[in-house]
Amino acid sequence: MNLLEFQAKELLSRYGVAIPRGRVAGAPDDAERVAVRLGLSRFIVKAQVHAGDRMAAGGIRFAADPIAVRAVADGMLGRRLATSQTGPQGQPVRWVYIEEQVIDARHLYIAILLDEEAGRLVLMLAAEGGDDIEERARTRPDLVVRVPLSADAGNSEIAGAVARIGLPEAAARALERLARALVTAAHELDAVMIEINPLALTSDGRLIALDAKIALDDNALFRHPELAALHHVSETEDGDLEALEAQRHQINYVRLDGNIGVVVNGAGLALATLDLLTEAGGRPANFMDIRTTASSLDIAHGFGLIAGNERVRAVLINIHGGGMQRCDTVAEGIAVALRRAQRPLPLVVRFAGNNADFATTRLADSGASFETATNMWDGAQRAVAAALRGGG
């Protein structure tokens, strides 16, 4: 599974990798608003496609102000970008990434690859990164240092590899730290490739990822349910920004074509809820998995996505509170979302587990009107009936 640049950068930033300030946009108006909020003096607008060599194809352009950002985005969005890596048909540009332009002193290259035959990670480094590195490496075999790493990837291995590209001492130490972070990310994400090219070495000694690529092992995605939304946005033709925004709010969310919204914590419980709704004659409007790290405001955002779907005629809330996610946290988030909602929706609620009774009381005290389900099947049946009463 290949990630888009902005997704790869967001993941890497969690491992301490420095990235330029930036945000994604799916429309020219959004691009201008993003640029205004960023408040930068120099912008880069990047077409988000699964291919390199975007600069030469016009997929990376500079802009001096928010109005120029909007114009550049308008010229990219909704069109197909053909680069040397896409073939003549190109790839559709659904999003652009508006980013701070970094003035750097030097371009480096770093990558972590999985050697499947050897069953180990390989660290690749070059003192001259940037465009056409593959072509330059073909004519200059010594350009890229390639070092197989042992299972524990000790500091001496990484330090030895970094020493071979001849950086000043401070920059070398920074690159060693970055390499260790990428090795950790590769292990924890089950990545088969993490590449930063170019990696900027600034005049004040900072290392900043100007571009990034991550490829994840499809066979290991079952270990990473939190990446389900990234998969939806990144790989499918109908991916949308809803899933991405939900991901940022600690929620895995995929819109479906039904009329019953579902609020659920846990991927397995969510799938079971969808099955029960279908068995009861209903049509789910979404998949939702609230992560244990979600706050009440994150949950409010997720409920807002459901309430904003005009097809939705009723909502089934099926929450099992555990040690890290109490039922009352979910109830608080729903109460916040209901105060923001533009239209009332019939609610069917089933709370079980940690603070279940308190959550029901808290939701009632907020002024919300809802039915209480005794179990999951009862909840599914009530939600289907509520949707029918709502005209769905």
CA 108, CA 127: separation in Å to the nearest integer?
Answer: 5
Please pick, among 10, 99, 195, 332, the residue that the annotation labels catalytic. 195
The residues near 261 (Cβ < 8 Å, ≥ 6 apart) are 284, 285, 286, 306, 307, 309, 312, 314, 315, 316, 345
Degrees, nearest 5: CA angle 59-130-99: 45
Alpha helix positions (H), the chain = 5-13, 28-38, 66-76, 133-139, 155-163, 169-189, 228-235, 241-248, 267-279, 296-307, 327-340, 356-365, 376-389
- Please tell me which residue in 97, 99, 109, 332 is annotated as part of the active site: 109
253 is catalytic: no
b vs e for 330-366, b when ≥16 Cβ sit within 10 Å of the residue's Cβ?
bbbbbbbbbeebeeebbbbbbbeebbbeebbebbeee
Where would I find the H helices in 224-326? Answer: 228-235, 241-248, 267-279, 296-307
- What pairing do the DSSP bridges indicate for beta strands 144-148 and 120-126? antiparallel
3-state secondary structure of 364: helix
Is 97 known to be catalytic? no
Active site amino acids: 109, 195
